[in-house]
Amino acid sequence: MVLLRVWFNIPKLYPGAHVEVYVSPSGVGWHVITDFQVNNFDYITSQALLWADPVRTQYALRKMYLSGGKEEHLDLMFNEKEGRKEVYVPFALILSKFTQEVNQIAINLKEGEYELADQNIKDLAKKISPELDVYHKKNFVGCITFNGSDLKDDIEKVMLDIAAKDPSFKYRMYPVWWPEFEWMIAVFTDDKDLAWKKISWIKNKVYKTDQEGNKDYLLKTTDTRLFVKERKST
């Protein structure tokens, strides 16, 4: 859905701009390439208006201000990573099969019917999803939620050690704002069963050693929630 929002909003922000869509080298995210020229501040504003990753936008804003506005490379987007290249998606061709829906959204936006446009974008996103899935690589995220900043620091030390020994181990630690939990470990894989195995291992096997050499299992008896979801950009 975000991809469609970007597609429809770029012409509004920058009339006449050429737009191309690619699947990122990870096979999960989207790269939207366009050719308008703006200054640094307008570039960051455009990121926010076009639903860019808020973390990327935050880092770009930091780089701009820390450099006194002199930084030229605010936001790097790799077209190749770990031996994989981004893949072109004929997005305009895909949308050409849904002319009626596309025209209706354009009318909604022109007449200021933004809520209706957003609903129609959601409906269209469902219709084009099967065609976009052809270009995506399957990817899953296994998650464990828990409480405690001290526990988070202990777990992250172990995660960093695992990642240093095994480059294929990909994880992130996120704060969450659920009533019952504060932190979440997210582990990324291309297999659903493997995601379950990894988070189950973390839940039951991750430990630190005390001064007497005893193993203190960090999550085994801790209140947690485990779940696996397909990681899919829209």
pLDDT tens for the 234 residues of the chain, in order: 788 888 888 888 888 888 889 888 777 788 888 877 767 667 777 776 776 667 777 777 777 777 776 666 655 554 545 556 788 889 999 999 999 999 999 999 889 998 999 899 999 999 998 898 888 778 899 999 999 999 999 999 999 999 999 988 999 999 998 889 999 999 999 899 999 999 999 999 999 888 888 899 999 999 999 999 987 765
Cβ neighbours of residue 37 under 8 Å, at least 6 residues apart?
none
Return d(Cα 193, Cα 217) in angstroms, integer: 23
Please tell us whether the domain made up of 140-230 is placed in CATH 3.30.70.
yes
- The residue whose two tokens read 């981004």 is 86
d(CA 52, CA 58): 10
Cα separation, 139 vs 147, whole angstroms: 26
Task: Identify the pLDDT of residue 1.
Answer: 73
- pLDDT at position 73, please? 60
| DSSP H helices in the chain | 2-13, 40-49, 54-66, 91-95, 99-110, 114-133, 149-165, 192-205
**Domain positions in the chain:** 2-133, 140-230
Q: What is the predicted pLDDT for the residue at 70?
A: 66
